[in-house]
Structure 1
Amino acid sequence: MSGTIVLLVRHGETAYHHENRYCGRTDLPLTDVGRQQAAALAAWAGTAGLDAVYSSTLRRAVDTAAPAARAAGVGHETDERLVELDFGLAEGLTATEMAETWPEERADFVADPVANPLPGGEHPRVAIARGRGAVSDVVERHPGGVVLVVCHSTLLRLLTLDLIGDDPSRYRQRFPKVGNTSGAVLRHLGSEQAWELVDFNPVLTEGAPGHQTIT
């Protein structure tokens, strides 16, 4: 049984990327580079055999997902459960700025980001639960299908590890970087707790491996 393929993909570039500023609920648009990345993803989507496209409600995710849905000729639905974590007081800051502002809290976060959320931020377990709910609904609606889900870097990494039965607190070590318009290719194996990670950070551009190689 092939199971449902879910591609959890990060949105295109925003202005916060160059300085690696934490962007949670700040509703930034894509940069020119980000729009080019979205167009390249759309070219891939047109040949990837997608059954549906979903995204976070944040602008950067919507503007990445919508061209892909149009190219694939499928629907695009938004889901608030796919938004990025709320980073609280860390929103818009770099790692260096956080360490200067609250050195102990930042050190605790780096040691275990699930047990020690950023000051005022959403607890990662809460984010995982809502993300799991969204992905479970996708699988229920598209059994055996191939679905593109455009979301965000931290949620994507936490959710991927949780789905495959690994420790989400290791997300910074396991997946130190998520490429724009790339992420995790996951296969659902028939029960809610049965997932496998097929690929991470694949190149999703026209001519890259698509539906025919991931089913």
Structure 2
Amino acid sequence: MSDGAVTVFLVRHGETASHAENRYLGRTDARLTETGQLQAAELAGWSSRARLTAIVSSTLRRARETANPSATLAGLAVRLDERLVELDFGEAEGLTAAEMRAKFPQDRAAFEVDPFGNPLPGGENPVDALDRGRAALDDLVRAQPNGRVLVVTHSTFLRILVCALVGLDPSRYRDALPKVRNVSGAVVRRDAVGRWGLLAWNPPLTRTTDIWA
């Protein structure tokens, strides 16, 4: 593509042990499970034919472990960017939704009404997370004119960022984008005049699937 457009594959990392009970995993530096490693290998099969020009990853271990096999097969180095890490969930770290309702019911109720405007107790303000995400993407676009970039990041961060890019209210990210599959997420493209569009949501990324040429 030579029209100045940049295609970004925003992908959630592979499975961790927290997924089985749907526990909130923010800044805890968890590793992938065996299933997560297999998922990363599937993503690498897709990356080997996707004509990527760069691979960028959150600095957290689960993201790095997801990105590394893709980098190997694509013949690229992984660039780490701490601005792509998951939100800090504060007192909610490691808890399930039910445990939060028992521990801080009013805060959890407010979060469920508007998770963007009412961060979990002690957690990062989503406005700040969105600001760092936008800054990271702006730098990426400047560095990769006509590029095709794999970005390995995290579920909540990814959903907030995608909502903002495509014009959805970020306060609705839990309703508008309720689930991000592991090693999937959003295919977005920024055109030459700076407009972002969503090409796909939660697509399978394996050796035999679309590469959005």
Instruction: Please give the range of the TM-score, normalised by the shorter of the 2 chains.
Output: over 0.9
Residues in 2 aligned to 1:185 and 1:209: alpha-carbon distance in whole angstroms = 11
Find the residue that maps to 1:177 and give its secondary structure: coil
Please, which of 142, 146, 155 is the counterpart of residue 140 of structure 1? Answer: 142
Q: Give yes or no for contact 2:187–2:199 (8 Å, CA) kept in 1.
A: yes
| Distance (Å, rounded) in 2 between the aligned partners of 1:92 and 1:35 | 21
- 2:52 is the counterpart of 1:50: yes
The alignment partner of 2:151 has SS state of strand
Residue 164 of structure 1, CA deviation: 1.3
So what's the TM-score if we normalise by structure 1?
A: 0.96
1:151-170 to 2 correspondence within 5 Å?
Answer: 151-170=153-172
> What SS is found at the alignment partner of 2:20?
coil
Q: How does 1:28-47 map to 2 (within 5 A)?
A: 28-47=30-49
Please give the root-mean-square deviation of Cα atoms over the aligned residues, in Å: 0.9
Shift of 1:190: 2.3
Residues 1-215 of structure 1 aligned to structure 2 (within 5 Å): 1=3, 3-192=5-194, 194-210=195-211, 214-215=212-213
- Structure 1 gaps of 5+ residues are none
Amino acid corresponding to residue 67 of structure 1 in structure 2: P
The whole-number CA distance in structure 1 between the counterparts of 2:20 and 2:4 is 39
> 1:77 is paired with a residue of what secondary structure?
strand
Moved over 2 A (4+): none
Q: Deviations over 1:171-192 (max 9, x none)?
A: 1001111000000100001244
Deviates more, 1:135-144 or 1:17-26: 135-144
Partners in 2 of 1:143 and 1:167 — Cα distance?
28
Q: Distance in 2 between matches of 1:64 and 1:2?
A: 28
Residue aligned with 1:16, SS: helix
Question: CA offsets per residue over residues 137-170 of structure 1, 9 Å max, x none?
Answer: 1111111111000000000000001111221111
Name structure 2 gaps, 5 residues minimum: none
Secondary structure at the counterpart of residue 109 of structure 2: helix
Instruction: Give how far 1:134 is off.
Output: 0.7
The superposition leaves residues 87-116 of structure 1 with CA deviations (integer Å, 9 ceiling, x where unpaired) of: 000000000000111111101000000110
Q: C-alpha offsets along residues 46-80 of structure 1, whole Å, 9 cap, x if unaligned?
A: 01111110000000000000110111112210000
Which residue type is aligned with residue 91 of structure 2?
L
State the identity as a percent.
55
1:2 Cα shift?
A: 6.3
Q: Secondary structure at the match of 1:85?
A: coil
Query: How many equivalent pairs are there?
Result: 211
CA distance in 1, matches of 2:162, 2:114: 17
2:4/2:145 contact within 8 Å kept:
no
Amino acid of the structure 2 residue aligned with 1:129: D
Q: Give the Cα–Cα distance (whole angstroms) in 1 for the partners of residues 206 and 117 of structure 2.
A: 37
